[in-house]
Amino acid sequence: VHRIGVFTSGGDAPGMNAAIRSVVRTSLHMGIECVGIRRGYHGLINGDFVPLDFDSVSGLSRRGGTMLYSARSEDFKSKQGLERAEATCKLLGLDALVGIGGDGTFRGLLTLAQKGLSVIGIPGTIDNDIACSTYTIGFDTACNTALESIDKLRDTMLSHERCSVVEVMGRHAGHVALNVGVACGATVVLVPEKEVDYEEDVMEPIRRARLAGRTHFMIIVAEGVEGGAYGVAQKIHEATALDTRVTVLGHVQRGGAPTVRDRIAATYMGYEAVRLLAEGKDCRVVAMQGESYVDYDITEALAMQKGLDQQTYTVMRVLTGV
């Protein structure tokens, strides 16, 4: 491998910058050049790039977002888009690509691998929904950001004896909701992976908490739950007459300086990606299994399924008294 193209794609996640820095510096250490492709697959199609050297990634570890910008590209899915991406790789003399993102990013890499490029994927998404990896870059920071806001909300809900319904990100996955719910001591946690029985899962825990003398309640709802936080709040108000307030945390969860966990994971994964390429391996996803760094074939990784962590789910149910 002589020249690697690195890019970020899909929803940004805190720690992506640290991963870019690591890819660049590891490459240089191994005598490989590095080029940054901007705006994900859009940049690959349009030849939007920036040469990266040791100094250009200095100070990046602590910065949220992605210096390479990110996008969700529809054009890449067309035959013409793919051809243009291939042409850009040829023009820039890239023999390998490292893509940081989620499943969509890995599917794109797979198409390019089928055209003969060496590709490696790094899991970067706050959702932690990459099946082959127990951890994805950005998850810890997003959970901490959500938790900080929820702790603040609790103060005001307590003062006014209200019921707070907080919507956290996760269109298809409830990992953020579940972890944040356990960490903040929520009354109820709702995730898209489980069908909601309103009587049993929501009203009962609230009634029990009320009987035990509670005067304020914290309900955590993942974005993907039917009706969202507004729908849930409405139902709670109708069934209990509690004074409810909805807070949708939204994209604030995607920003901010990455935590230690995200900086370390991103840095290791960036290093691993280049190491694999230097060893002649390709079409792999760097992943974590527990605290170890491993790698999977992209096709294999994409075929895997990931459910909620059963232990965390059980603990949540026990502690919310469901």
Give the range of 54-62, 119-127, 202-210, 235-243 binding ligand F6P by CB under 6 A.
119-127
Candidate list 108, 170, 174, 270; residue touching ligand F6P; CB under 6 A: 170
> With respect to ligand F6P, which residue has the nearer C-beta, 223 or 272?
223
> With respect to ligand F6P, which residue has the nearer C-beta, 120 or 169?
169
Rule CB under 6 A: is residue 174 a binding residue for ligand F6P? Answer: no
- 8 A C-beta contact, residue 141 and residue 258: yes
> With respect to ligand F6P, which residue has the nearer C-beta, 124 or 205?
124
Known catalytic residue: 295? no
Binding letters toward ligand F6P, positions 204-233, x by CB under 6 A: -------------------x----------
SS3 per-residue string spanning the chain: CCEEEEEECCCCCCCHHHHHHHHHHHHHHCCCEEEEECCHHHHHHHCCEEEECCHHHCCCCCCCCCCCCCCCCCHHHCHHHHHHHHHHHHHHCCCEEEEEECHHHHHHHHHHHCCCCEEEEEEECCCCCCCCCCCCECHHHHHHHHHHHHHHHHHHHHHHCCEEEEEECCCCCCHHHHHHHHHHCCCEEECCCCCCCHHHHHHHHHHHHHHCCCCCEEEEEECCCCCHHHHHHHHHHHHHCCCEEEEECHHHHHCCCCCHHHHHHHHHHHHHHHHHHHCCCCCEEEEEECCEEEEEEHHHHHHCCCCCCHHHHHHHHHHHCC
Annotated catalytic residue, options 12, 53, 75, 127: 127
Give the range of 33-41, 83-91, 168-176, 264-272 binding ligand F6P by CB under 6 A.
168-176
- How many residues interact with ligand F6P (rule CB under 6 A)? 9
* Residue 171 is assigned to a ligand binding site: yes
Least Å distance between CB 253 and ligand F6P? 7
User: How far is it, in rounded angstroms, from Cα 231 to Cα 227?
Assistant: 4
Rule CB under 6 A: is residue 123 a binding residue for ligand F6P? Answer: no
Rule CB under 6 A: is residue 127 a binding residue for ligand F6P? Answer: yes
For the four alpha carbons of 313, 315, 316 and 321, in that order, the dihedral sign comes to: positive
Rule CB under 6 A: is residue 270 a binding residue for ligand F6P? Answer: no
Candidate list 5, 11, 81, 174; residue touching ligand F6P; CB under 6 A: 11
* Residue 251 is assigned to a ligand binding site: yes
> With respect to ligand F6P, which residue has the nearer C-beta, 4 or 130?
130
User: How far is it, in rounded angstroms, from Cα 322 to Cα 319?
Assistant: 8
* Residue 102 is assigned to a ligand binding site: yes
Candidate list 25, 216, 254, 263; residue touching ligand F6P; CB under 6 A: 254
Rule CB under 6 A: is residue 103 a binding residue for ligand F6P? Answer: no
> With respect to ligand F6P, which residue has the nearer C-beta, 99 or 205?
99
Binding site for ligand F6P (CB under 6 A): 11, 125-127, 169-171, 223, 254
Give the active site residues: 127
